[in-house]
Structure formats: C-alpha cells, structure tokens
Amino acid sequence: MTELPPDPARLRAILAYLKERVAENETVGIYLRLQYDAVREALGRAEEQRSARPTPRSQRRSSAPALATTHHAKEASGFTVEQQKRAVGPEPARSHTADCTSGGTKHPIGAQEARAALMDPMVEACPFCRPDAALGMDLD
C-alpha cells in the first residue's frame, strides 16, 4: 500500500470508503454463491434428465405419483432471494418464501441457503412472508 496521510480526517475518509467497498463485496459474494448453487442444481437436474431412459408406458403410471410428491415437497420448502437496488451504498438482499408475491425478480434457493443468507447482516427477511419464521429462526 502507498504511504498513508498523517491527518485523522483523511484517514477516517479512507476507512469509510474501504468499509463501503467491503460491504458491497460481501453482498456480491452472497449473490454469486446463490447463483453458483442454483446453476449447480440446474446442471444436476439436466444431467439426471439426460441420463434417464424412457420407460415403458405401464411403468410410467406407477412412477408418476412418486415424482409429483417429490416435486411438490421441494416446492413447499422453497425459498427465494431478491437483490434490493439502491442508488447509494451497498445493495442488500431480501429473503422470501417461494410463494411470496412481494418484491421484484427473485432467485430460487434451498432452505440451507436461506438460513445462511438470513444470518448475513446484508440480507433481511421479507416482513410479509416471514421466511425466518418458516425456517424456525424468528429473527424478531
């Protein structure tokens, strides 16, 4: 690092600037981890579908209810994260349950990711759908 100024006013300004950059990078890091996990899950589903062989018609009916139950269970425990846009400062995120209609564009995440996100100070729980309560975390 280059030589720092000797006066407290400029040193405080530098600290404030660095603190903002750290907060922004943490938010971006959370968002990128969530996106990375979503892409990995999609890749896993795509590989499973590709490797699945067509089954005879008689077997399709018996396996359909099991697939529907698994898919429904995954939806019932789903959560999402929404990036909050701000004109100044870091962009915090908001966590929602999968069926919440509040907010803008959301990205799907699992329960583990939602718990981890809610522990981050830059992520808040939606006050309408209360994902923290759904996860048994009740942050209030």
pLDDT of residue 79: 92
Instruction: Write the CB contacts of 94 (distance below 8 Å, at least 6 apart in sequence).
Output: 81, 82, 84, 103, 123, 124, 125, 126
* pLDDT, tens only, 117-140: 888 888 899 999 999 988 888 665
DSSP state of 121: T
pTM of the predicted protein model: 0.45
Q: 98 with 79: CB under 8 angstroms? A: yes
Q: Quick check: 35 and 80 in contact, CB under 8 A?
A: no
Q: Helix-strand-coil percent breakdown of the chain, rounded to 5?
A: 55, 10, 35
- Predicted pLDDT of residue 66: 40
- 28-83 pLDDT per residue, tens: 778 888 888 888 888 888 888 877 756 555 544 444 344 333 343 334 458 999 88
> Could you tell me which residues are beta bridge partners of residue 107?
81
Tell me the sheet residues that pair with 125. 95
